[in-house]
Structure formats: C-alpha cells, structure tokens
Chain A
C-alpha cells in the first residue's frame, strides 16, 4: 500500500530556532500534500495544501511566512517552522494524495516541543 515517511518523529528545539519536517512518499507520486497540526486532545486542523511545483495554499489564520512549505518534487514535501515559539509546540502530520488513487495517506507525525 501507499506509504508516507515523515521525519523527524520527535524534535525539541529552542525558542527562536527553525525546524524542518520532511514527508516523503515512498511508492507513489504525491501530487498534493496536506499539512495538519494537532494540539493535545483536539482534532486535526489543516494548515496548508501544497501541489508539486506550485505555491502552497494556506488556511485562514496560518502565517505563511512562519510555516514555510516546499513541495519541490512529487515525492518530497517539507514544512519549516521558523522562529519557533512554545505555542508552536504541537503534533504536525502530513497527508499525501495522489489523483491516480483514492484516499489519503498519512505520515507518522512529528511531535515538536519548543522550549
């Protein structure tokens, strides 16, 4: 089946630094990648949608200059949290979609802790 590899699984960083999260589709071409954020005991909230080779579309209230998304190839999308603050601490998870197959494939998630 379709697999999306997400790294790192856990990261602790200092306030003010940047963190990059990678999602890689291993056996299919991810034409669209969705990035979600999930705070404890809450639902998955969509942050942005990216299509390969074009700029990401951000959901209302999500700062595009703070959460940089790059979808430079059909197998790799990255989310960079810039100038991280403790309130950015959350579970970040990607989900890839391929128009040639039904459904959404989720990465394993990244637990970000900003201290």
Chain B
C-alpha cells in the first residue's frame, strides 16, 4: 500500500518568513496530492491540492510543487502570519475520488509574531 512520509514534524518560523514542508510517497499509482490544515479538535481543511498532470500550483501565499519522478511534493507558505499556525498534513491517493487517502505524519507549524 501507499506510504507517505512528511518532514519536518515541527516547524517554527518568524512572522513574514516562508515555511516549507516536504512529503514523499511510495505508490507510483498515486496521482492526487492534497494538503490539509488542521486546528486542534477540528476537521482537516483542504488548503490546496495538485494532480499528477501538473508540476506546480499556486493560490495566493500557498504553493505546491510535485516531482513525480522522485515521488515527492512540497508545500510552500510565503509571508507567514500567526493564523497560519496549525498542523499541516500532506496526503496521497490514486485519484481524487473513491480511493483511500493516505496521510503523512503531520507538521506542527508555529509562526512567531
């Protein structure tokens, strides 16, 4: 089955700096890669996703890059703000619907004012 590794497990950045979280996956059949933000006791919130037919996607301060050959993908948050503090999870699935989503271990991000 799919195995998703995520690094780092914790990340502390100064407000305004960038944050980068990296994930690797094992199953070459995976082609859907979402990123979730989860606040304590809440459901995961989709912040951005990417499919295997593109290498990069951007939405305001958030960007995701995908290298299918190397089986890794990364989340980039620029101009971080204190409200970006949360736990972030990467995930992978064979396609965007109907197939199980495998999560990475999570990254606890703390943005210091």
The answer on a CB contact under 8 Å between A91 and B98 is no
- A19 near B: Cβ within 8 Å? no
* Set A46, A91, A97: member contacting B97, Cβ < 8 A: A97
On whether the beta carbons of B43 and A107 are closer than 8 Å, the reply is yes
Asked whether, in the complex, the Cβ of B96 is within 8 Å of the Cβ of A102, the reply is yes
Shortest Cβ gap from B19 to chain A (Å): 19
Nearest to A111 among chain B residues (CB) is: B41
Q: Provide the B97-112 mask, 1 if CB < 8 A to any CB of A, else 0.
A: 1111111111010000
Q: Considering only CB atoms and an 8 Å cut-off, how many residues of chain A contact the other chain? A: 26
Cβ A108 vs Cβ B100 within 8 A? no
**Hey, what's the 0/1 contact readout for A81-103 against B, CB within 8 Å counting as 1?**
00000000001010101111111
Cα separation A93 to B38 with both chains bound (whole Å) = 12
Residues of B within 8 A of A (CB): 32, 34, 41-44, 46, 49, 89, 96-106, 108
